Amino acid sequence: MLALFMQTAFSQSKGIFEGQNDIGIVKHKGAVTYDKQLQQYHISGSGTNIWATHDEFHYVWRKIKGDFILRTNAAFIGKGVEDHRKLGFMVRKSLDSASAHVSAAVHGDGLTSLQYRTESGAETQEHKSPITGADVIQLERKGNTYTMSVARKGDVFGPEEKVDLDLGDEVYVGLFVCSHNPDVTETAVFSNVRVVKPAPADLTPYKQYLGSSIEILNMLTQNTRVVYQSPKSLQAPNWMHNGNTLIYNSEGSLYKFDLTTNTPTLLNTGDAKNNNNDHVLSFDGKMLAISSGDGGPSIGYTVPVTGGNAQRVTQTGKGASYMHGWSPDGKYLVFCGDRGGEYDVYRIPSTGGPEVRLTDAKGLDDGPEYSPDGKYIYFNSVRSGLMQVWRMDADGSNQTQITNDDYNNWFPHVSPDGKWIVYITFLKNEVAPGDHPFYKHVYIRVMPAGGGPSKVVAYLYGGQGTINTPSWCPDSEHIAFVSNSDLLFPVFPIAKK
């Protein structure tokens, strides 16, 4: 087995956290319940305020050292009593009520601010965000700099708020609720809760790796569940037609992951070794196109989804080939090919044969994938400056740009019902056009297949390997993806979807 499920000494009622406390003297004791099925936290808290020289609230925490990224979706339950009831993520030097701290706080009236106390007993200060009513909260530490990023669900993060603050290396990090009224208890629900240890500055890309989490995203609710974790690099999950199995790659091998038993098994690919994260299932679910670079440039193969001898498709001596899409009738494959230093989209018979070049723009064209009706091929291209999503007719004609924003958009995947496209978005201040590295701040976004406004459905730390391959569930209501962190948490077996 590739990795065992993490066993834990933590109470399952606190999920990934170690403890919970009422901070300060409160009239009504706070509490937390953890929904293992949805991986959500319901936290109740009382308390007068988190302000001035001391605090009163309920805190669910763990201790951590070094740099980290904290992220959650959060919302109060019910209308509430006080406009300035608060929820959010907090970093604290101690559990004393007067402790130095920094928090990303959302108030009941929508005010969102980076609040902080520089030393024990000092007056609390704040930087107000121009975003009000935020329900996606991120608080990141890099050295002694704390950065708050917030958004309304579906939007990209707005302007950052920062503060330099020395709280020591080991700190408490956690979720909080304060009712802003000592006689009242308020309750909030926190979903998509992540405590991420990012890549160190000296990490060598493609030689050193962080741990990986396979996550399942409900496209309707945007709630995600971690279903599997490993200290190794897991990449690019495909979703098989039975709805119960994923295929992913790790360390040159392909694995099937059974969602009903939460166990991986090795997939036999015969002589095709050193398989990378460019692999795709045929529309009928019977065959898998894979990309193998054992001892040389990547070559395209096909193999039965049950495993077996791999059949070569692309030719040697032509440059690397990275397989991305099957035609719905199973007759053709489309791939990204390096031919003389130019990366373009090519089509080839699925049994092998002559290549047909479909794009010829300068720069990278990559990630081609057929629509379920076979009329279009979606791909990404740098031809307009940044990486953007494009669409062309199946014969390569009518190449049309369908995203046009200030981000680098990568790897479009069409839903089985043909209605939607999901793709991964990199920030242009972190990633150059044409690159798609590991371990960056990324979004997963969705848009109508015919074009139109995009919305964010997942905020995460990942990149290369996150969603390289078509990863829609057959029901068109879920996707699978990979996130990364050097800190792994317990994963409790859960029922299907």
pLDDT in tens, 432-482: 999 999 999 999 999 999 889 999 999 999 999 999 999 999 999 999 999
Mean of pLDDT values over 138-156: 98
Name the token pair of 183.
């006689």
Q: Residues near 29 by Cβ (< 8 Å), separated by ≥ 6?
A: 22, 46
Tell me, what's the pLDDT at 11?
40
Tell me, what's the pLDDT at 495?
47
- Strand ranges of the sheet holding 376-381, from the earlier edge strand across to the other edge: 365-370, 376-381, 388-393, 400-401
According to CATH, what is the number of the domain 211-485?
Answer: 2.120.10.30
Tell me, what's the pLDDT at 3?
32
pLDDT digits (tens, 9 = 90+) for 243-284: 999 999 999 999 999 999 999 999 999 999 999 999 999 999
Tell me, what's the pLDDT at 494?
52
What is the C-alpha to C-alpha distance for residues 89 and 91, in angstroms, rounded to an integer? 7
Asked whether residue 493 carries a pLDDT value surpassing 70, the answer given is no
Asked whether residue 16 carries a pLDDT value surpassing 70, the answer given is yes
pLDDT digits (tens, 9 = 90+) for 335-357: 999 999 999 999 999 999 999 99
Parts of the chain belonging to CATH 2.120.10.30: 211-485
Q: Write the DSSP string, 189-209.
A: EEEEEEEE----TT--TTTS-
**Whole-prediction pTM:** 0.95
| Counts for the chain of helices (H) and strands (E), in that order | 0, 39
Tell me, what's the pLDDT at 294?
77
Segment among 3-7, 113-117, 342-346, 349-353 with least mean pLDDT = 3-7
Question: Does 2.60.120.200 match the CATH number of domain 12-196?
Answer: yes
Average pLDDT over the chain, rounded to whole? 94
Parts of the chain belonging to CATH 2.60.120.200: 12-196
Give the confidence band of 14 by pLDDT, cuts at 50, 70, 90. Answer: confident
Tell me, what's the pLDDT at 6?
31
CB 373 within 8 A of CB 418: yes
Asked whether residue 96 carries a pLDDT value surpassing 90, the answer given is yes
Among 463, 471, 496, CA closest to 281 = 471
Residue type, 432: A
pLDDT digits (tens, 9 = 90+) for 33-52: 999 999 999 999 999 999 99
CB 40 within 8 A of CB 226: no
CB 61 within 8 A of CB 19: yes
CB 291 within 8 A of CB 276: yes
